[in-house]
Amino acid sequence: MRRTPLLATLLLATTAPAFAEAPLSGYGPRPAYLIGKLPEGELKTKLQSCLGQPIAKSDFSIAHRGAPMMFPEHTAESYRAGAAMGAGIGECDVTFTKDKELVCRHAQNDLHTTTNILVSDLAATCTTPFSPAEGDTKAAAECRTSELSLNEFKSLTPKMDSADSAATTAEAYQGGIAGWRTALYVQEPTSLTHAESIALFKELGVKMTPELKSPSVEMPFDGFTQEDYAQKMIDEYKAAGVDPSQVFPQSFNLNDVLYWIENEPEFGAQAVYLVEPTDSFDPQVAETWAEDFADLKAKGVQYLAPSMNMLVTAKDGTYAASDYALAAKEAGLNLITWSLERSGPLASGGGWYYKSATEVTDNDGDIYELVDTLAQDVEVEGIFSDWPATVTFYANCMGL
């Protein structure tokens, strides 16, 4: 029997005051659909035996930007949907506005694809104004939170992250939603500041994993240093009275993680170092790995969060733990991974998130084959997903 994940153990043992519980809405049809695509065997039999069981919250299930397969990411509606599907941890990607206020947004320069800014009165603030597609040139724009005050940011209407690169008007550029996503739940969604996300997560009874996003502007920004930015994010949890054991701050910038370890050790003890593969990366060839696991551990890093394609490889016609994953575990690092349900239907190989095992990826049932490998062989502590019910169902069924 697999051990209880360390992450779940730490969270269950917290002495923080109990938060309110989010009302759980159930798994919906997707887990059963994915199970139906599995080949006959032990995994399918086990998962089928759990169909019809009640949903329970699981810290193994991490809501990646909420539930952005169907809801505009980083909105209150997306976060509520993720919690309703049993995700025990919610994520606010953190960036800042012109007046140095922290807000939930995947990138500082994504407003042209995640909001209506190009068709609003704030279009003139965009760093790169909308330019239409012409010939072989695609439509383009770039709009940043750092060009807006907080009040201006809050006046924008969030939308599904998309853009129509063939558009000749800003209105048409608002489209381009992937066919496996939907615009059904985009009516008046609610954007959030980082502080508002903390309050909402407390209301929903979920833990928090904020990601400090890399600025698109040069730092310092009007006297605001990278260290100020990293500290301000932690200060907002302290101001809200959140116990550090409830928070897993993340960054792709190792210096941010080391800053928290050194200056906010209670939060830094659970800081997560996010990594992604370089162009030359091969999960089976150590010479291609950028990370020195022993050095990270010596510096106090406890959690490493590689993308899924770094942790698995193809072996004997299915998924297997990669040498990279096994080496990281041997060094004593706890692994979290990202992000399930971002690839759409898997018939064509799954794209970037599955690139280390494309040859064994050819139908949607492979989602649960992959989750099983990540849980049982790689022994990750949690999985980020754009549709948390998929992971929650697996975690509940397997007793994680």
Q: Is the pLDDT assigned to residue 205 strictly greater than 80?
A: yes
Does 171 have pLDDT greater than 60?
yes
Q: What is the pTM of this model?
A: 0.94
Contact 10, 245 (CB under 8 A): yes
Whether pLDDT at 78 is above 60: yes
**Residue 11: what pLDDT?**
31
> Quick one: pLDDT band at residue 20, thresholds 50, 70, 90?
low
Work out the average pLDDT over 128-147.
Answer: 98
Prior bond of 249 cis (ω within 30°)? no
Residue listed under structure tokens 């994993």: 209
Average pLDDT of the segment spanning 106-131: 98
Strands of 234-374 (E only): list them.
250-251, 272-275, 303-306, 312-315, 318-321, 334-340
Sorting pLDDT into bands at 50, 70 and 90, what band is 25? confident
pLDDT of residue 17: 36
C-alpha dist (Å) from residue 340 to 91, 244, 336, 370: 14, 27, 12, 9
- CA dist 154 and 32 (Å) reads 38
What does the block give as tokens for 11? Answer: 């969270």
Which H or E run contains 390?
A: helix 389-398
Average pLDDT score over residue span 140-162: 98
52 has pLDDT over 90: yes
Which is higher by pLDDT, 91 or 4? 91
**310 pLDDT above the threshold of 80:** yes
Token digits for 250?
């993340």
271 neighbors 262 (Cβ within 8 angstroms): no
Convert the pLDDT of each residue in 259-297 to its tens digit: 999 999 999 999 999 999 999 999 999 999 999 999 999
Q: Parallel, antiparallel, or unpaired for β 128-131 and 102-104?
A: unpaired
Place of tokens 């394609």: 309
Q: Look at strands 312-315 and 318-321 and give their pairing.
A: antiparallel
Element (H, E) at 82: helix 76-84
Structural domains in the chain, CATH included, are 6-92+192-398 (3.20.20.190), 108-189 (no CATH)
pLDDT digits (tens, 9 = 90+) for 332-350: 999 999 999 999 999 999 9
